[in-house]
Chain A
């Protein structure tokens, strides 16, 4: 458990650092941030906008920088992320709260599918090294290298515009009211298929390649040779090797999840999916800085939480980490 404790401390420090970065970026830019933003808004200004921006960036206060920082930290601890300028006077936290479930659902399900599918395929490819599957691997890099939103474009054009199998955007039919009914659930599902498919197709290649590469090395280990020599079935041998080869995939999760979340945000934009990615686009278009910064913090916290979960899984899977040194 000391491992988890150490990671927890690291994540707390990281979260604090992210908040600090968030606090200082607007203050490091040349000039008065509020004036710079007002110049960019070009006329769509209400007194409320000015007030919320000044509060956010500490322009009309007599407080020193350190005092402002403590104030900011205190606000965040209480879940106060400032007031959105484009949805004025809605607080940033409630704007994000309304969008978060869609993103968590979409990215969560897609990541689980892509990790499971990718890992299994990676095992298969390593097992059949040199077969057509292995030679198809470089072709798969196309999907990995293509931007998520471009694959989303293609999926939209093909399955929605041309074939008409799936709706072209949003999370549910606008005429439907969100309700706990079977038809509404089906509606939500059919709207989620294309975005989820895009995320799975784009992110699975990374898991496949990672798993295959570790698996190939693991298959050369002595204990695999022994397992084969004593005549165990091929499936069983592969299972033994795969159990060990999956560890780097789990520990590499932290790098991957950031990519996947970033890609998923862009996918949401293409599909007009009402998640965090969609309000992110609104925030960018309307230059809603408090909302932008709030989204950055929330995504960072979510990614850190996902990392902590991956660490837990790692400790569960690898008994070596549980030994007290």
Chain B
């Protein structure tokens, strides 16, 4: 793993071909490691990934590209926000700050908080959900109760109370914000993972692993967890989406330090200047659209993963033209194991 080429092959999911280095050989021995991961390719996933990639890039380079400091007054014209012009691509705010710069700078905090919250919440939900599903009994009852408690508790008011009592220095700490959001966002994933673990727990291959004398943590890590991966991915995306909305809402309410620039803070300033009634669309539209498109990217990815988990949800390939081709035998019908082919029934000319 000393050269860059070795890193390249080793990084591609532990391909068995990465021989030469001792680490690569060791990896190949472990059963199940060398399996290539089947990535779903649906337009939803591709579009979602492209959009998300764009936002990630923006978060990394945005603050360096910003032509002005987000808080600085860039013009001497007082009081009235200036509409977009060549000098200020997205106009200015009431305090004559450059909206375009704020937009570029604000992405970093947003994505950092969202992904951090998603990661923490996913770890929590996997640990709690899988433990509850696998162990059953009293542990399960207590953990499920905890998850249900967080599930029915309305998150926004709880977060407002927590953020409200936070010392003011905490209001601009992205890590702390992500952590707090994660605490209120892990329960949904835990519930879904618990249900799936329950159904996997009594499968034959898990029983045989148990009879072979494998320890619990090994069964969970090597037999159960790999089969939960799509659900883990789905719950991660869901939590990131939730964190995007929640962080924006907290900042919009002014519970995050208003000088800590994010898209939510921009909306907070726009709202406190009544930008939506005064028609200063260039002020609130860019951050709002940025949040909405980031959310759309995550939701599309989530849809794609859901369709990967449950192929019946797929709509693609079931257009009328394709169905006719199936019927005439022009295109060979592909069956998926365990699924009833229902193509003719649905779209036939007569029921």
Contacts and interface: CB of A to CB of B under 8 A. Distances in A.
Chains A and B are bound partners: yes
Interface of A: 10-11, 13-14, 17-18, 21-22, 25-26, 29-30, 33, 36, 40, 129-130, 134-135, 137-138, 141-142, 144-147, 149-150, 152-154, 156-157, 160-162, 168-169, 209, 213, 216-217, 219-220, 225, 228, 231, 233-234, 237, 254-255, 258, 261-262, 265-266, 269-270, 280-281, 284-285, 287, 289, 292-293, 295-296, 299-300, 303-304, 307
Question: Lowest 10 A-B CB distances belong to which pairs?
Answer: A145-B295, A262-B156, A146-B292, A150-B288, A130-B318, A141-B299, A296-B157, A258-B154, A134-B315, A153-B276
Given A130-B347, A145-B298, A220-B312, A156 B276 contact: yes
B99 to A, nearest CB: 15
A234 B241 CA distance: 38
B288 A147 contact: yes
B158 interface: yes
B319 interface: yes
A153 B153 contact: no
A153 B318 contact: no
A33 B255 CA distance: 17
Interface stretch (B14-22, B144-152, B205-213): B144-152
A10 B291 contact: no
Query: Chain B at the A interface: mostly helix, strand, loop or mixed?
Result: helix
Given A157-B279, A213-B306, A228-B351, A266 B249 contact: yes
Interface string B134-170: 0000000000010011011111111011101111100
A26 B163 CA distance: 11
Given A216-B313, A219-B342, A284 B151 contact: no
A135 B42 CA distance: 13
Nearest to B287: A150
A141 B267 contact: no
Interface in B254-282: 254-255, 267, 270-271, 276-279, 281
Given A147-B291, A153-B270, A287-B164, 16 more contacts: A18-B153, A26-B165, A36-B165, A130-B319, A156-B276, A157-B276, A213-B306, A216-B313, A217-B313, A255-B151, A258-B151, A258-B154, A262-B156, A265-B156, A266-B253, A292-B160
Contact of B164 (A145, A233, A289): A289
Contacts of B249: 147, 149, 262, 266
A124 B328 CA distance: 27
B181 to A, nearest CB: 13
Contact of A40 (B158, B168, B293, B300): B168
B276 A304 contact: no
Interface in B229-263: 241, 244-245, 248-249, 252-255
Nearest to A205: B299
A156 B275 CA distance: 10
B253 A281 contact: yes
Nearest to B343: A130
Given A149-B252, A156-B276, A292 B158 contact: no
B292 A25 contact: no
B276 A254 contact: no
A30 B169 CA distance: 12
A220 B313 CA distance: 11
Nearest to B339: A220
Size class of the B contact interface (CB-based, 8 Å)? 35 or more
Nearest to A11: B152
A186 to B, nearest CB: 23
B152 A303 contact: yes
B351 A213 contact: no
A52 B116 CA distance: 38
A152 B252 CA distance: 13
B262 to A, nearest CB: 12
Contacts of B279: 157, 161-162
Contacts of A149: 249, 252, 267, 271
Given A142-B292, A146-B288, A284 B340 contact: no
Contacts of B152: 11, 14, 254, 258, 303-304, 307
A157 B299 contact: no
Given A146-B288, A254-B152, A262-B249, A285 B318 contact: no
A217 B160 contact: no
18 contacts: A13-B145, A21-B158, A129-B346, A138-B44, A142-B296, A145-B294, A146-B288, A146-B295, A150-B288, A150-B291, A157-B276, A161-B278, A168-B277, A216-B313, A217-B310, A258-B151, A266-B253, A296-B157
Contacts of B162: 25
Contacts of B310: 213, 217
A28 to B, nearest CB: 8
B245 A147 contact: yes
A301 B303 CA distance: 33
Given A217-B310, A281-B253, A300 B267 contact: no
Contacts of B149: 13-14, 17
Contacts of A284: 160, 164, 253-255
A219 B158 CA distance: 40
Interface in B293-351: 293-296, 298-300, 303, 306, 310, 312-313, 315, 318-320, 323, 339-340, 342, 345-347, 351
